[in-house]
Chains A and B, each alone.
Chain A
Amino acid sequence: MNLTTTLTDTLPTLARLREQAARQAADEGAELNAQMLLATIVARYPDPTDWAEIKAETQPVVAAYPSRVIALVNDSAAAQSPDPVRVGLLSAQRSDGASAIRGELLTAALQGRAFEEGAAIAASWSASGIPTVVWWNGPAVTDDHLFEDMLDIADRILVDSSAMTDLAAEFTVLGDVVAGSHHARVTDALWLRLLAWRQAFAQAFDQPAARLDLEHVTSVELAVQQSPGGQAAALLLVGWMASRLGWRLDRRTTQGWRLKSDGQAVDVICDPSSITNGLIEMVRLSAPTSRYLAYMPSPEDIVVDCQSDLAPITHVAVRRPPPTRPRLRLDDLLTGGAHHHIFRQSVAIARTLATA
């Protein structure tokens, strides 16, 4: 059930739609789920996207997390439409099999300046008293007007660093945001995708004896997709390792970077890879008498082969979680920013490396 309307008549139209649904539910003897909304989700679509596609993408999110979804769609044909807004209700099947309304979807097709000022529309349509989550969909963080405005209305902003195109500029912006210059907290989908790599290395060094090797790492070699996304993944993963192990940037090198830990050099080398089903093909940590090689034998798994006199276990494997999109789950994204300080430190080092 959805209706088209104008920008000014959106909320009254939504109210009418809800009343209509309530009456229909009463007529059918069904129960209208009166569950309060838990969040407003503002999703940015930088390219024309139709109602059905937005609905398909947001419905699973709303099913798990009752929300009002406001989709701001950049559409150069919007000016021709007298009713650029469409509102509808989103329902989902409950665990008892019954269908229940779980949320609301409001889409606005906007063009030019109107799209750039979309935060004002989102602010006026947001449900009061609940958090606003901005889903910065599409090309990554840039120093653009809409992003700045969105930071002001958001309690949390979801970004995807793998969509970055200018790593130095965008990691600088991201670094400022996560450093706390805004009220909004950040969840990065790329950070979540790197979880399995982080988990794999953590698991390899869960062996107490192997942990001694961490103090003597001399190089980190990565094979990453030849794209800004691959580079962003490498920077964030190295940023994470460096933050955990106390490595600091010494200088840029021809193949990557030299970091230092207690005076000891750690060379980070980034090699291009032709990998297509991910961003990172392999990561190898080397110490004088040991090597830890992490790679993906299948799209679902990451394994670490440990060659060390100290590590009794030679092979550990970790399940790679499903990609964040299209199976986006808001609760994953919302809690993905937990341990924010680790993410913040990782981004700070990634930024230092990107701008070196």
Chain B
Amino acid sequence: MSMNGQALDSALGANPLREGLAFQEAPPGQTLIIFGGSGDLAARKLIPALYNLERNALLPSSLAVVGLGRRPMDDESYRARQLEATTNFSRTGKPDPELWSAFQQGLYYVRADFSTHAGYEDLKRELAEIETRHGTGGNRIFYLATQPSLFPEIIRLLGETGLNRGPGTTRIVIEKPFGRDLATAQDLNAIANDVFDESQIYRIDHYLGKETVQNVLVLRFANVIFEPVWNRRYIDSVQITVAESVGLEGRGTYYEEAGVLRDMVQNHIMQLLALVAMEPPVDFQADSIRDEKVKVLRALRHLEPDQVSSNVMRASYGAGFVDGREVPAYRDEDGVAPDSTTETYFASRFLIDNWRWKGVPFYLRSGKRLAKRASEIAIQFNEVPHLLFGDSNPDGVPPNVLAMRIQPDEGVSITFEAKQPGLGMRVRPVRMDFGYGQSFAEESPDAYERLLLDVMLGDQTLFIRRDETEAAWRAVMPILEAWEGDSVSRLPTYEAGRWGPRQAGDLLRADGFRWRRL
């Protein structure tokens, strides 16, 4: 009876020579197979990220990349196309000719039909040849960068043709969105888990690859001064903002189906919320962290249908000016229905029912065509219980705020009170600021660089587990269901280039807060 690699691996125990080496960021040989290899994601993100990893000598020399697509193309055309894309989209600009020349030798293009067994049998043959040529050790990563609707069929056929169990390690990367609601997410997870073990599945949300998002964990758990006050006794409210100034960027058809709730809130913002609100994990192992994130997501209070309108605000942008340029209303964008009711702005109040956060409102907002691109997590602390300096400060003093800037101008600032110079006792807020750009001379890697390297190293910490994505969907389902039952013919609008609809402020005003000015 033959045992496959994974079964034998667990029977024999860990490789004694491997201990201590996983942390050296030197992944073993790999073949990365990109479904949708001729598409936008590969060109804009994946290949430039791989090139930059190569530039930093972080890739194994035995790396092969196989782009799979339906368009007819040979290897040379594919390489030329990816060179052009990397020149346009890489954070480091035009590739070094010598380095690119070496890198591109590992790039291949295979024209294949993803929907037939024959296509996968062809792929198998190609892989055997490429793996021998490059000495990849038989380790394979399948990256699903196609339309999400194709994911289930690709996964099923990978299983039916035995490609889910290769000679080395086999992993699969699934891009968001993970379904368009809880039921479809569960269906996708069921298929994926039927064919692959959860340890082989990497659900990617590129937001988690951002340096500043990972810094949330470091700030909380590598410092002793924050955690003791990180709870309902000292924190008044939390605001999480992911604002974009861009519009649809040619993705009108997709966005019409998604809206900001599915596109940003269910994934990016819920992940940020989980990182801010989770309990300390017992260690930095992937499952320890994901266990704690799931607990928080499960503790999110689900809104009753009649609570949705008072806790959630949605809107779509009207015409306006962004960066001095006139932009059309959402309904006038290409690919958008003239009578669309898809939301481009979302604001809500969430509560977390656990000991740490009971009663602390989490205000979430995200939108397109807002005043500027800015993502931030702001922790607002309680006011001092008794103001000693009331005579000189009749309006009171503003509370302390810890703001973690995700992008741009990445960093952390703390606002606190200081005595204003002079003879009186006037108090004024001042800011202590840490900026990534100032403190570290090195440029941060792109999120995809970090995440691709983690997949190669087999580190699932920054990837989303099955129960996490389902818990996040459960939290937003009451909102989606309420909207579906709602017969509005037109959403409130906000002028493009502003901070969203005025009514969004009402959500906070009722609790005595206001949105932070970013």
The 8 Å CB contact of B137, one of A63, A195, A203, A342, is A203
Q: Mark B19-54, 1 if CB is under 8 A from A, else 0.
A: 111011010110000000000000000000000000
Instruction: Mark out the residues of chain B between 51 and 103 whose CB falls within 8 Å of any chain A CB in the assembled complex.
Output: 57, 59-62
Could you tell me the distance between the alpha carbons of A64 and B444 in the complex, rounded to whole angstroms? 12
A: residues with CB less than 8 A from B are 33, 35, 63-64, 92-96, 100, 102, 195-196, 198-199, 201-203, 205-209, 211-212, 214, 241, 244-245, 300-301, 303, 312-313, 315-319, 321-322, 335, 338-339, 342
Contact A202:B441 (CB < 8 A) given known A317-B61, A318-B60: no
Which residues of chain A are within 8 angstroms of B29 by Cβ–Cβ distance? 203, 316-318
Determine the residue in chain B with the shortest Cβ distance to A60.
B441
State whether B61 touches A202 (Cβ < 8 A): no
State whether B18 touches A206 (Cβ < 8 A): yes
- Among B15, B28, B59, B437, chain A packs the most CB atoms within 10 A around the CB of B15
Contact A198:B17 (CB < 8 A) given known A35-B439, A208-B8, A317-B61: yes
Could you tell me the distance between the alpha carbons of A321 and B27 in the complex, rounded to whole angstroms? 12
Which residues of chain B are within 8 angstroms of A241 by Cβ–Cβ distance? 17
CB<8 Å pairs between A and B, sample of 5: A195-B26, A198-B21, A202-B15, A202-B17, A205-B18
The 8 Å CB contact of A244, one of B5, B19, B28, is B19
Instruction: Mark out the residues of chain B between 124 and 150 whose CB falls within 8 Å of any chain A CB in the assembled complex.
Output: 132, 134-135, 137-138
State whether A93 touches B441 (Cβ < 8 A): yes
Total residue contacts A-B, CB cutoff 8 A: 117
Query: Which of under 10, 10 to 19, 20 to 34, or 35 or more describes the interface residues of B?
Result: 35 or more
The 8 Å CB contact of A203, one of B28, B437, B439, is B28
Could you tell me the distance between the alpha carbons of A241 and B17 in the complex, rounded to whole angstroms? 7
Contact A315:B135 (CB < 8 A) given known A206-B168, A208-B12, A339-B23: yes
Asked whether B443 is an interface residue with its Cβ less than 8 Å from the other chain, the reply is: yes
B101 to chain A, nearest CB (A): 14
State whether A338 touches B437 (Cβ < 8 A): no
Asked whether B438 is an interface residue with its Cβ less than 8 Å from the other chain, the reply is: yes
Which residues of chain A are within 8 angstroms of B60 by Cβ–Cβ distance? 317-319
Asked whether B167 is an interface residue with its Cβ less than 8 Å from the other chain, the reply is: yes
State whether A209 touches B17 (Cβ < 8 A): no
Sorted nearest first, the 7 A-B pairs with minimum C-beta distance are A339-B20, A208-B8, A315-B135, A317-B62, A202-B17, A208-B9, A95-B443
Which residues of chain B are within 8 angstroms of A211 by Cβ–Cβ distance? 12, 15
State whether B57 touches A321 (Cβ < 8 A): yes
Q: A198-B17, A301-B61 are in contact. List 14 more A-B contacts (CB 8 A).
A: A64-B440, A64-B441, A95-B440, A198-B21, A205-B16, A208-B9, A313-B167, A315-B132, A317-B61, A317-B62, A318-B28, A318-B60, A319-B59, A339-B23
Determine the residue in chain A with the shortest Cβ distance to B18.
A202
Which residues of chain B are within 8 angstroms of A100 by Cβ–Cβ distance? 438, 441
State whether A321 touches B26 (Cβ < 8 A): yes
State whether A102 touches B138 (Cβ < 8 A): no
State whether B15 touches A92 (Cβ < 8 A): no
State whether A338 touches B20 (Cβ < 8 A): yes
Determine the residue in chain B with the shortest Cβ distance to A316.
B137
State whether B437 touches A206 (Cβ < 8 A): no
State whether B62 touches A96 (Cβ < 8 A): no
Asked whether B442 is an interface residue with its Cβ less than 8 Å from the other chain, the reply is: yes
Contact A342:B59 (CB < 8 A) given known A203-B137, A209-B8: no
State whether A95 touches B137 (Cβ < 8 A): no
State whether A342 touches B168 (Cβ < 8 A): no
Which residues of chain B are within 8 angstroms of A342 by Cβ–Cβ distance? 19-20
Which residues of chain B are within 8 angstroms of A195 by Cβ–Cβ distance? 21, 24, 26
Contact A317:B442 (CB < 8 A) given known A196-B26, A199-B26, A201-B17: no
State whether A95 touches B135 (Cβ < 8 A): no
B126 to chain A, nearest CB (A): 17
Which residues of chain A are within 8 angstroms of B444 by Cβ–Cβ distance? 95
Contact A205:B135 (CB < 8 A) given known A33-B438, A313-B167, A316-B28: no
Which residues of chain B are within 8 angstroms of A317 by Cβ–Cβ distance? 29, 60-62, 134-135
A241 to chain B, nearest CB (A): 8
State whether A245 touches B16 (Cβ < 8 A): yes
Could you tell me the distance between the alpha carbons of A335 and B21 in the complex, rounded to whole angstroms? 12
Which residues of chain A are within 8 angstroms of B5 by Cβ–Cβ distance? 207-209
State whether B62 touches A316 (Cβ < 8 A): yes
B: residues with CB less than 8 A from A are 5, 8-9, 11-12, 15-21, 23-24, 26, 28-29, 57, 59-62, 132, 134-135, 137-138, 167-169, 437-444
Which residues of chain A are within 8 angstroms of B9 by Cβ–Cβ distance? 208
Could you tell me the distance between the alpha carbons of A247 and B26 in the complex, rounded to whole angstroms? 26
State whether B438 touches A313 (Cβ < 8 A): no
Which residues of chain B are within 8 angstroms of A63 by Cβ–Cβ distance? 441
Determine the residue in chain B with the shortest Cβ distance to A199.
B26
State whether B442 touches A95 (Cβ < 8 A): yes
State whether A339 touches B19 (Cβ < 8 A): yes
Which residues of chain A are within 8 angstroms of B21 by Cβ–Cβ distance? 195, 198-199, 202
A328 to chain B, nearest CB (A): 15
Determine the residue in chain A with the shortest Cβ distance to B62.
A317
Contact A303:B135 (CB < 8 A) given known A94-B441, A199-B26, A321-B57: yes
State whether B61 touches A207 (Cβ < 8 A): no
The 8 Å CB contact of A94, one of B19, B24, B62, B438, is B438
State whether B16 touches A312 (Cβ < 8 A): no
The 8 Å CB contact of A206, one of B20, B24, B135, B137, is B137
State whether B18 touches A207 (Cβ < 8 A): no
Could you tell me the distance between the alpha carbons of A33 and B437 in the complex, rounded to whole angstroms? 11
Which residues of chain A are within 8 angstroms of B59 by Cβ–Cβ distance? 319
A319 to chain B, nearest CB (A): 4
B51 to chain A, nearest CB (A): 15
Could you tell me the distance between the alpha carbons of A241 and B8 in the complex, rounded to whole angstroms? 22
Contact A212:B135 (CB < 8 A) given known A64-B441, A202-B17, A321-B57: no
Which residues of chain B are within 8 angstroms of A319 by Cβ–Cβ distance? 26, 57, 59-61
Could you tell me the distance between the alpha carbons of A244 and B28 in the complex, rounded to whole angstroms? 19
Could you tell me the distance between the alpha carbons of A35 and B438 in the complex, rounded to whole angstroms? 8
State whether A244 touches B57 (Cβ < 8 A): no
Determine the residue in chain B with the shortest Cβ distance to A35.
B439
Which residues of chain B are within 8 angstroms of A335 by Cβ–Cβ distance? 23
A35 to chain B, nearest CB (A): 6
Which residues of chain A are within 8 angstroms of B439 by Cβ–Cβ distance? 35
Determine the residue in chain A with the shortest Cβ distance to B439.
A35
Which residues of chain B are within 8 angstroms of A208 by Cβ–Cβ distance? 5, 8-9, 11-12
Could you tell me the distance between the alpha carbons of A102 and B134 in the complex, rounded to whole angstroms? 42
Determine the residue in chain A with the shortest Cβ distance to B4.
A208
Which residues of chain B are within 8 angstroms of A214 by Cβ–Cβ distance? 16-17
Which residues of chain B are within 8 angstroms of A212 by Cβ–Cβ distance? 12
State whether B16 touches A244 (Cβ < 8 A): yes
A318 to chain B, nearest CB (A): 6
Could you tell me the distance between the alpha carbons of A303 and B442 in the complex, rounded to whole angstroms? 31
B348 to chain A, nearest CB (A): 35
- Among A92, A102, A339, chain B packs the most CB atoms within 10 A around the CB of A339
A284 to chain B, nearest CB (A): 15
B359 to chain A, nearest CB (A): 38
Which residues of chain B are within 8 angstroms of A315 by Cβ–Cβ distance? 132, 135
B13 to chain A, nearest CB (A): 8
Could you tell me the distance between the alpha carbons of A342 and B19 in the complex, rounded to whole angstroms? 8
A309 to chain B, nearest CB (A): 13
Determine the residue in chain B with the shortest Cβ distance to A310.
B8
Which residues of chain B are within 8 angstroms of A196 by Cβ–Cβ distance? 26
Which residues of chain A are within 8 angstroms of B23 by Cβ–Cβ distance? 335, 338-339
State whether A92 touches B24 (Cβ < 8 A): no
Determine the residue in chain A with the shortest Cβ distance to B436.
A95
Which residues of chain B are within 8 angstroms of A96 by Cβ–Cβ distance? 437
The 8 Å CB contact of A322, one of B15, B57, B61, B132, is B57
Could you tell me the distance between the alpha carbons of A313 and B169 in the complex, rounded to whole angstroms? 12
Which residues of chain A are within 8 angstroms of B26 by Cβ–Cβ distance? 195-196, 199, 318-319, 321
State whether A313 touches B20 (Cβ < 8 A): no
